[in-house]
């Protein structure tokens, strides 16, 4: 859980898991979603994906786990994807008129609709 984005070579990590997981076993994989509405909002306002900004390199976020690429690596290494889910909801911003409120409101609607 929350490991793939920290790997310099995520396909090798998935391959190693595939080589060591018991036949018929299951793996639960979670990653930040770079295509989430929150990430798209961050890209629009900060020109960086949420959780993949330069400041996150300290946390060793070195791989952007695009869902179609992760799916490719999993299937390429013998995994069958049984379920995919995206979780998390945003709360509407508190009312205080100004640019930050408008930005917060745009963020709320952008990320929820």
pLDDT tens profile 43-102: 888 888 888 888 888 888 888 898 899 999 999 999 999 998 876 555 555 556 666 777
The answer for 24, left when phi > 0, alpha when psi is -120 to 50, beta otherwise, is left
Give the span between the Cα atoms of 27 and 107, in whole angstroms.
33
Helix, strand or coil, per DSSP, at residue 74: helix
Residue 107 has pLDDT above 90, yes or no: no
pLDDT at 103: 79
43 CB-near residues (< 8 Å, 6+ apart): 49, 50
Give the span between the Cα atoms of 110 and 77, in whole angstroms.
35
Q: Is residue 39 within 8 Å of 33, Cβ to Cβ?
A: yes
């Amino acid at each position: 859980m929350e490991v793939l984005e920290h790997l310099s070579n995520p396909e090798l990590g998935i391959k190693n898991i595939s080589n060591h997981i018991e036949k018929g076993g299951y793996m639960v994989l979670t990653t930040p979603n770079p295509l989430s509405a929150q990430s798209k909002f961050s890209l629009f306002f900060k020109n960086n994906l949420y959780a993949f900004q330069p400041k996150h390199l300290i946390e060793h976020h070195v791989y952007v786990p695009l869902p179609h690429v992760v799916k490719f690596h999993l299937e390429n290494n013998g995994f069958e994807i049984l379920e995919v889910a995206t979780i998390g909801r945003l709360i509407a911003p508190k009312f205080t008129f100004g640019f930050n409120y408008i930005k917060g409101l745009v963020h709320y609607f952008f990320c929820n609709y």
